[in-house]
Amino acid sequence: MTRALEAHGGIWGQVKPLDVAKVKFAEDLEDAEIREIETFLAHAAASGGADSRVAARDYLMRRMAIEYGLRIGEILALRLGDLPSRTQDYLKIVRIEDRGDLVDPREPRAPKVKTLGRDLGCYFRNSRFPQLFSLYQSSHRWVWASRKSGARYQKTRFAHPYLILNATDGMPLSMQSAQRRAAFIRAETGVDFHWHAARHAFFNRAYVLMDGIKDPLKREERRAGLVYWGGWSSPDSLDIYTATARRNKARGAALALEGTDGKPSWSALD
């Protein structure tokens, strides 16, 4: 009996318990938190104070993350030529390897487009794009510089084509500086803001709209469109938003968006 128990214990000692799969969720921001940040940055940008240009830039970046679902690296990698124009009414997300011999002065830590390249129009009916791009370029995309005479002037032309500037020296904004700005927004608003949470806020809500389509063919078409929009190569990338939608339904916390036909509106963006 003793030998049998020892043998039995030895067998069980070789058994490895299966890993329990951990469900990942796309944590984002509630509408009230989005409005809090919106109000803070919009007022700071319109104040005309010393930091208004920085606030206007941060506001633009946050709206891009919220309205287009962009990663912060994609935002920092945007060039002026990628923006909507008279001949191109959409935003272009272009991978680094598709940019020819363009050198980014932030190398070796230059922001990378980690997703597939894509062309994106305005998703929401009440979007502030593309006007926000024009406003930033005309009023806030400049730095102070000095002429040989010592006179100061507003410099608007730079040796690089990148949209988002460091407001002090006019160089493209670094990833580290962008993360510091997110920390500043957290401290000033009390909202647990991260750039990726803004991206998740878009995709969580877009997923709920897609999931609410009753026609299975239209729903599948919208699903494929959402995969393209996110720059993913596989529909499996939506699994995290599927899990989040199921959890939120169980919580009874619906994600608020009005409209199911055509372009939706998102009141938190007003």
Is the model's pLDDT at 257 over the cut of 80? no
* DSSP letter, residue 150: S
Burial level of 233, CB count in 10 A (0-12/13-18/19+)?
A: exposed
Is the model's pLDDT at 252 over the cut of 80? no
Q: Write the single-letter amino acid at 133.
A: F
Q: Examine the domain organization and report whether 138 and 255 are in the same domain.
A: no
Q: How many CA atoms lie within 13 A of 159 on its CB side?
A: 6
Between 185 and 86, where is the model more confident?
Answer: 185
How many angstroms separate the Cα of 263 from the Cα of each of 3, 125, 205?
A: 73, 5, 13
Q: Examine the domain organization and report whether 188 and 219 are in the same domain.
A: no
Largest CA distance in the chain: 100
Q: Examine the domain organization and report whether 78 and 191 are in the same domain.
A: yes
Tell me which residue of 97, 94, 59 sits closest to 80, measured CA to CA.
94
Q: Examine the domain organization and report whether 119 and 227 are in the same domain.
A: no
Domain membership of residue 245 (yes or no) is yes
pLDDT confidence of residue 10:
74
Q: What are phi and psi of 8, to 5 degrees?
A: -60, -45
Query: What would the DSSP string read from start to end of 25-90?
Result: ------HHHHHHHHHHHHHHHHS-STTHHHHHHHHHHHHHHHHH---HHHHHT-BGGGS-BTTB-S
d(CA 36, CA 174): 25
Q: Examine the domain organization and report whether 88 and 187 are in the same domain.
A: yes
208-250 residue pLDDT tens: 889 888 999 999 999 999 999 999 999 999 999 999 988 887 7
Domain membership of residue 8 (yes or no) is no
d(CA 202, CA 195): 12
Q: Which of 163, 195, 227 is the last residue of a domain?
A: 195
Q: Examine the domain organization and report whether 89 and 135 are in the same domain.
A: yes
Is the model's pLDDT at 4 over the cut of 90? no
Domain membership of residue 139 (yes or no) is yes
Q: Examine the domain organization and report whether 40 and 165 are in the same domain.
A: yes
Query: Using 50, 70 and 90 to split pLDDT, how confident is the model at 253?
Result: low
143-183 residue pLDDT tens: 999 998 889 999 999 999 999 999 999 999 999 999 999 99
Q: Answer for the pair 58, 41: CB distance below 8 angstroms, yes or no.
A: yes
Q: Examine the domain organization and report whether 110 and 138 are in the same domain.
A: yes
Domain membership of residue 59 (yes or no) is yes
Q: Answer for the pair 123, 67: CB distance below 8 angstroms, yes or no.
A: yes
d(CA 139, CA 86): 20
Is the model's pLDDT at 254 over the cut of 60? no
Domain membership of residue 128 (yes or no) is yes
Domain membership of residue 269 (yes or no) is no
Domain membership of residue 243 (yes or no) is yes
Q: Examine the domain organization and report whether 167 and 217 are in the same domain.
A: no
Mean pLDDT to the nearest integer, 85-107: 89
Q: Which of 195, 224, 250 is the last residue of a domain?
A: 195
Is the model's pLDDT at 19 over the cut of 70? no
d(CA 228, CA 233): 8
- Number of domains comprising the chain: 2
For residue 161, cis peptide bond before it (omega within 30 degrees of 0):
no
Mean pLDDT to the nearest integer, 257-270: 72
Q: Examine the domain organization and report whether 168 and 244 are in the same domain.
A: no
Domain that holds residue 135: 31-195
Q: Examine the domain organization and report whether 127 and 80 are in the same domain.
A: yes
Domain membership of residue 6 (yes or no) is no
